[in-house]
Amino acid sequence: MGAVPWFCGANQHSFKTVNPGTAPDAPGDSPDLLHTINNLKRVPFGTVPTMAETSCPAKKQTLLSPWRRRSQWSATLLLLLTPWFRIDGNSLLRIDIPALTLHFFGQLLRIEELYLVLIFSLILTMGFLLMTMVLGRIWCGWLCPQTTLTDLAEWMATRLGLRGLKHSRKKLLGQKLALQLSFLLLALLVSANLLWYFITPQLFFAQLFSGQLHFSAWIFLLVFTAVIYSDLALVRRLLCRDFCPYGRFQTSLSDQTTLTLHLPESERERCIECNSCVRVCPMEIDIRQGYQIECINCGRCLDACRQVMSNRNQPGLIGYSFGTTGHGAKALLNPRTLLLSLATLVLLIILMFAIYYRPAASLKVSVSHTAASRILNDGNQATFFNAWINNRSREQATYRLKARQTGTNIRLTLKGQTDQIELEAGENSRVDFVLVTPAPENQLGVEFILMDRNGVELAIAEAYIKELQGY
């Protein structure tokens, strides 16, 4: 085997040579997973094909492209359909801005509980980093909505005969207009889909057809439609190549264990220089030159090479490999990957505990800013309070408020609607009440307790009553 080009972490545009004797080029060196992927459509080397294979060999092969398309469409469908799903009447995933609540897989998280979402976001980020370290830019090639939209835009252009074919000017104009209209409709669908993560699709269509869609929703729709239309019509792969922050960021995560496509040195002599692998590459790179940061691991070059070589009854030359160190998937057992996996797992456990032990209700209490405290005829002090109660459960609940002052025998009396407080699932409601106490000297600390109908304490809030001056 010859020298295998590889990239180094500090400068991804430069290459270095690793021990040529350890490159996993021989089939026996590949781990099971890679062996399976790399041989999905491989025509056994040296076998004598039958007439059917000779006349149409490409049809005998299993390509990666259908699997990539399935993966892209599954991710797209998931994004499209998620806003339509509900758990116990609540959206699966939606930000309710007026209620400052996040609908999160059956849980209703108020803004004060966003630490849970932060932990979840951190887990997602770390999982994403881990995926990039192990599988490179597989997200870009196989799942990213931007790639799917670009593929769709290119497919539309091909279907309308606007890619690679010459037409009369008049015919071309009509096709171009049809293409731009398709882009506009697609952009409108995508921006509406984004909006459904804030307004339920059912409410969106009801308001749209009754002419009651809020102007902020219209602005959202128009702005995002314009942005996505520009992306489809003008930007496309340029975003992946030059602007996407993830694409830039992943270069510092890839190392000599990351999954990449490459043409092994041992196979170079079989290359017939047909350039098929270069022509199909959406990122316009030549994988024969070694790994390049623009590569999105889509596998098109691998398919192209397999098809070309199958016509010669030979296996393709390009393959996936976890780096070129010859350790295969075992190369993943390195401190960086293991530490990140462990940290992700720990965060996941913390999140599960935080959700499991999350209180069923929350209580916030503060002295009213609109109703002034006063001294009553009997010498007691009346202090006006506002309480905010949030029912975090998925069921309607009835609550009761109680006041207590630990360590003293001071009599505390609550007046107002502090009993039989009924809240729907997820509802956040304000309750106004009055606390009557002996007039304090300086200030008095009081605890307010929120209880369910069985007297179980659910939440506690503290407040201070101040001595009134001038009485």
Give contact residues for ligand SF4 (rule: CB under 6 A). Answer: 261, 263, 271-277, 280-283, 285, 287-288, 295-301, 304-305, 308, 317-318
265 within 8 A of 4, measured Cβ to Cβ: yes
464 bridge partner residues: 445
Q: Which is nearer to ligand SF4, 276 or 428 (CB)?
A: 276
Q: Which is nearer to ligand SF4, 121 or 275 (CB)?
A: 275
Q: Which is nearer to ligand SF4, 94 or 288 (CB)?
A: 288
Q: How far is the CB of 298 from ligand SF4 (least distance, A)?
A: 4
Q: How far is the CB of 399 from ligand SF4 (least distance, A)?
A: 58
Q: Which is nearer to ligand SF4, 133 or 287 (CB)?
A: 287
Q: How far is the CB of 57 from ligand SF4 (least distance, A)?
A: 15
Would you state the structure tokens that stand for residue 343, as one six-digit string?
A: 């940290």
Q: Which is nearer to ligand SF4, 297 or 428 (CB)?
A: 297
Q: Which is nearer to ligand SF4, 94 or 300 (CB)?
A: 300
Q: How far is the CB of 135 from ligand SF4 (least distance, A)?
A: 12
Q: Which is nearer to ligand SF4, 83 or 136 (CB)?
A: 136
Please work out, in degrees rounded to the nearest 5, the angle formed at the alpha carbon of residue 128 by the alpha carbons of 123 and 133: 125
Q: How far is the CB of 63 from ligand SF4 (least distance, A)?
A: 13
Q: Which is nearer to ligand SF4, 263 or 387 (CB)?
A: 263
Q: How far is the CB of 71 from ligand SF4 (least distance, A)?
A: 14
Q: How far is the CB of 13 from ligand SF4 (least distance, A)?
A: 15
Q: Is 121 exposed, middle or buried (0-12, 13-18, 19+ CB in 10 A)?
A: exposed
Q: How far is the CB of 59 from ligand SF4 (least distance, A)?
A: 18
Q: At what angle do helices 335-356 and 114-135 cross, to 10 degrees?
A: 160
Q: Which is nearer to ligand SF4, 254 or 276 (CB)?
A: 276
Q: How far is the CB of 90 from ligand SF4 (least distance, A)?
A: 40
247 within 8 A of 283, measured Cβ to Cβ: no
Q: How far is the CB of 36 from ligand SF4 (least distance, A)?
A: 18
Q: Which is nearer to ligand SF4, 132 or 391 (CB)?
A: 132
Q: How far is the CB of 11 from ligand SF4 (least distance, A)?
A: 19
Rounded to whole angstroms, the Cα distance separating 321 from 261 reads 6
Q: Which is nearer to ligand SF4, 310 or 391 (CB)?
A: 310
Length of the chain (residues): 471
Q: Is 366 exposed, middle or buried (0-12, 13-18, 19+ CB in 10 A)?
A: exposed
Rounded to whole angstroms, the Cα distance separating 183 from 155 reads 12
Q: Which is nearer to ligand SF4, 268 or 404 (CB)?
A: 268
